[in-house]
Amino acid sequence: MPNFETIWIIGASDGIGAALARAYAAQGARLVLSARSANRLSELAASLGADHVVVPLDVGDRASLNAAAAQIAGLGPLDRVIHLAALYDPGRIAEIDAETAAQIVNVNLTGSFHIAQIAPPLLRRGGQLAICGSVAGYLGLPQGQIYSATKAGVINLVESLAAELAGKIDVRLISPGFVDTRLTQRNDFDMPAMITPEAAATAIVAGLNARGFEVHFPKRLTVALKMLRALPYWAAMPLTRRLTRDPGTPTKEPIS
């Protein structure tokens, strides 16, 4: 059945975002594609073979987002906004420099706050706003450092937003596990239950079309982490300490 929705995907130039764009385009949706990488967005839009709109932006820059929102408002009400862009840099807390940490907080957490304010007026009533957290935000794990902390903040932010916009906007949380992208390929630790970006996109499309606040996948990983999170600290922390190991080279590339 053709999908005539207009969907804004933020963080669409690579990885999960690009796979999600291809999945929705195959259904017939009209897409607004955003990220910092204008060239990659244009290449993606051209490959999709339809009338899609490219709107480059930086989620860490409010002026950039305001300009993008003004442009997108001219397209008419959106059916969905799906925010995936983030910065990622695994490693021990003691080893990350303060400037990098501030950048990650600005993009991941403050950027999600910007989207939480900017997106609702662009949506039709009852439209959907989905923001990407991560299973890394479920609990403090070794080498998660500031990335995991920001994703914990995003989870809390989206929970609050869902309560505030209940009955007006369908707010959803996306919580991926390990997905095989150019970023995770640089990790030097075991990544259980790894899935492809295409499998992640399939899970997101299905989850956002179903009921339920959170779309989390793959279940064989996320359910185990949810059980660990539910334990009291005296039981959970000895288990997480067993995961501690020497970190590898930090990853400092944007998912955008």
Mean pLDDT of 95-112: 94
Contact present, 204 and 18 (Cβ < 8 Å): no
Alpha-carbon distance values, 178 to 62, 115, 152 (Å): 29, 24, 16
Tokens of 91: 């490693």
Q: pLDDT confidence of 186, banded at 50, 70, 90?
A: low
- Over its C-alpha atoms, the chain yields an Rg (Å, rounded) of 18
If 0-12 CB within 10 Å is exposed, 13-18 middle and 19+ buried, where does residue 173 land? buried
> CA-CA distance, 89 to 150, in Å (whole number)?
11
| Active-site residue identified among 24, 88, 138, 147 | 147
CATH topology of domain 6-255: Rossmann fold (3.40.50)
Map out the domains of the chain as residue ranges: 6-255
Helix, coil or strand: residue 218: coil
Give residue 79's pLDDT: 98
Helix, coil or strand: residue 34: strand
Give residue 51's pLDDT: 87
The residue that leads in pLDDT, 94 or 107, is: 107
Q: Is the dihedral of CA 32, 128, 196, 22 positive or negative?
A: negative
Per the prediction, the chain carries an average pLDDT of 89
Q: pLDDT confidence of 94, banded at 50, 70, 90?
A: confident
The residue that leads in pLDDT, 240 or 75, is: 75
Give residue 50's pLDDT: 73
Mean pLDDT of 1-18: 91
> CA-CA distance, 59 to 256, in Å (whole number)?
9
Residues 199-241 have pLDDT tens digits of: 999 999 999 999 999 999 999 999 999 999 999 999 988 888 7
Give residue 246's pLDDT: 43
Residue 88 among the catalytic residues:
no
The residue that leads in pLDDT, 255 or 92, is: 92
Q: What are phi and psi of 197, to 5 degrees?
A: -60, -35
Give residue 16's pLDDT: 94
Enumerate the H helices of 96-194 as residue ranges. 98-104, 111-118, 145-164
Q: pLDDT confidence of 142, banded at 50, 70, 90?
A: confident
Give residue 90's pLDDT: 73
> CA-CA distance, 116 to 77, in Å (whole number)?
16
Contact present, 41 and 14 (Cβ < 8 Å): no
